C-alpha cells in the first residue's frame, strides 16, 4: 500500500521475494540463528525466543559497530527489539520490529515483519519478506534501500540477496 500527500510518498507495506536453491530449514536457520545472521546483510546477532510473546533482539557485530562509529554513530547494545507473534518452523515467522539505532527512527515505533518460506519443486524455496511500516516513514526509506547513498545500506532487497548468495555459494556479495 502507498499513501501520498503533497509532500511525500510513503510505502507502508513492502514485500520482497527471493528464490534460493536450498532447503526451508537452511533458510529458517539463516534467519533465526546468530551464527548465520552475523555472516550476511548488516551482520547482526539475532536472539529469538521462538514462541508467541517471546523476545526478538538484534545486537550489532563488531564490524557493524565499527562502521557505524566511523560515521559518528554510536550504537546501543540492542539495535533492534521486537516480539515473536508467530513461529511455525521452518515455514513462517512473524515478529514486531523496533529499530533502536537512531533516536528519530526509534521514535517511529514498532512495525511488523513476516517471513514466509515455501518449498518448491526442484530443490529450492521462495522466501517472502513482508514489512508493514505504518507510522514509520524513515524506517520505510531505510529498509526500502532509498538511503543507500547516505550510508544506510540497501535495505531488505540487499539483505535477501546477500542471504541467497551465502546459502547458495558459501560467500556473501562482498565476500
134 is a domain residue: yes
Cβ neighbours, 10 Å, residue 157: 16
| CATH of residue 59 | 3.30.530.20
Cell numbers describing residue 96: 514486531
Question: Per residue in 73-105, pLDDT tens?
Answer: 889 999 999 999 999 999 999 999 999 988 889
CA distance 64 to 18: 24
CA distance 165 to 116: 18
pTM above 0.75, yes or no: yes
175 is a domain residue: no
Number of domains within the chain:
1
CA distance 148 to 150: 5
Q: Which domain holds residue 42?
A: 2-169
148 is a domain residue: yes
Amino acid at each position: 500500500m502507498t499513501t501520498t500527500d503533497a509532500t511525500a510518498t510513503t510505502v507502508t507495506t513492502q514485500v520482497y521475494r527471493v528464490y534460493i536453491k536450498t532447503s526451508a530449514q537452511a533458510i529458517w536457520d539463516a534467519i533465526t540463528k546468530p551464527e548465520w545472521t552475523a555472516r550476511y546483510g548488516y551482520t547482526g546477532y539475532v536472539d529469538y525466543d521462538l514462541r508467541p510473546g517471546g523476545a526478538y533482539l538484534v545486537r550489532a557485530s563488531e564490524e557493524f559497530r565499527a562502521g557505524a562509529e566511523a560515521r559518528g554513530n554510536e550504537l546501543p547494545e540492542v539495535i533492534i527489539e521486537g516480539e515473536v507473534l508467530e513461529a511455525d518452523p521452518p515455514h513462517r515467522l512473524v515478529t514486531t520490529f523496533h529499530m533502536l539505532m537512531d533516536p528519530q527512527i526509534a521514535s517511529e515505533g514498532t512495525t511488523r515483519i513476516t517471513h514466509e518460506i515455501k518449498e518448491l519443486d526442484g530443490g529450492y524455496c521462495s522466501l517472502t519478506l513482508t514489512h508493514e511500516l505504518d507510522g514509520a516513514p524513515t524506517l520505510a526509506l531505510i529498509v526500502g534501500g532509498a538511503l543507500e547513498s547516505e550510508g544506510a545500506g540497501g535495505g531488505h532487497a540487499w539483505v535477501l540477496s546477500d542471504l541467497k548468495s551465502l546459502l547458495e555459494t558459501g560467500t556473501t556479495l562482498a565476500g
